[in-house]
Structure 1
Amino acid sequence: MKFLFLYLFIINYLAFSMFAYDKEQALKNRRRVAEKNLLTLCFFGGTLGAWIAMKKLRHKISKDAFKVKFYAILAIQVAVFFILFKR
């Protein structure tokens, strides 16, 4: 269980950092992080870090296609969580 919390901390830190980096690159009109890479971090557990970055940095909040994919990943993760820890 300790490793799960460590993993979640690291993946969420990475997700937040990648969203922040992408926002910085966007402001400088430089090469951006691919959305599939941002969503991959979310898929592997970084949804909380990504969500915090989206709210705090106001990044990716106007892209409806991205938000649909993001919230679909979140819904799947919530469902899996309740299935695994239903006991």
Structure 2
Amino acid sequence: MPTSFFVLCCVSGFYLLISTVTFIYYWIDKRAAKAQRQRVPERRLLSLCLAGGWPGAILAHRLLRHKSVKRSYQRWFRLMIFLHIVGLGQLVTCIYQAMQT
């Protein structure tokens, strides 16, 4: 039981950290877009989402209204969320099974 709690705390902490970093990158990109400066590449933003920063990206979409309309980006972004939900489902299943034994 303590081990599974530790794993959940670590995973939650990681998601919080990478989401904060992702939100900051979206904010930097939004400012660069407004100032017509060099932008953060979409590949980097999507990589951060794939690394686990998708909650921060969702928050940035809502609060900053950034990257919330472009269809090609949204398609990839939704794929990243789907992959993480599947992965989290697998993690929860493994932890549940470990708790049962």
TM-score (norm 2): 0.81
Distance 2:69 2:49 in 1: 18
Of residues 54, 57, 60 in structure 2, which corresponds to 1:53?
A: 60
Distance 1:45 1:61 in 2: 18
Residues 3-82 of structure 1 mapped to structure 2, 5 A cutoff:
3-82=10-89
- Structure 2: state its 5+ residue gaps: 1-6, 97-101
Deviation digits for residues 33-81 of structure 1, max 9, x if unmatched? 0000000100010000011001111001111000000000100110111
Identity over aligned pairs, percent: 29
Distance 1:50 1:15 in 2: 6
Distance 2:17 2:60 in 1: 15
- Structure 1: state its 5+ residue gaps: none
User: Secondary structure in 2 aligned to 1:52?
Assistant: helix
Counterpart residue identity of residue 12, structure 1: S
Counterpart residue identity of residue 5, structure 1: S
Structure number with bigger Rg: 2
Give the paired residue count.
87
1:12–1:25 Cα change, 3 Å: same
Flag as ranges the 4+ runs of structure 1 deviating above 3 A. none
Counterpart residue identity of residue 72, structure 2: A
Distance 1:75 1:8 in 2: 15
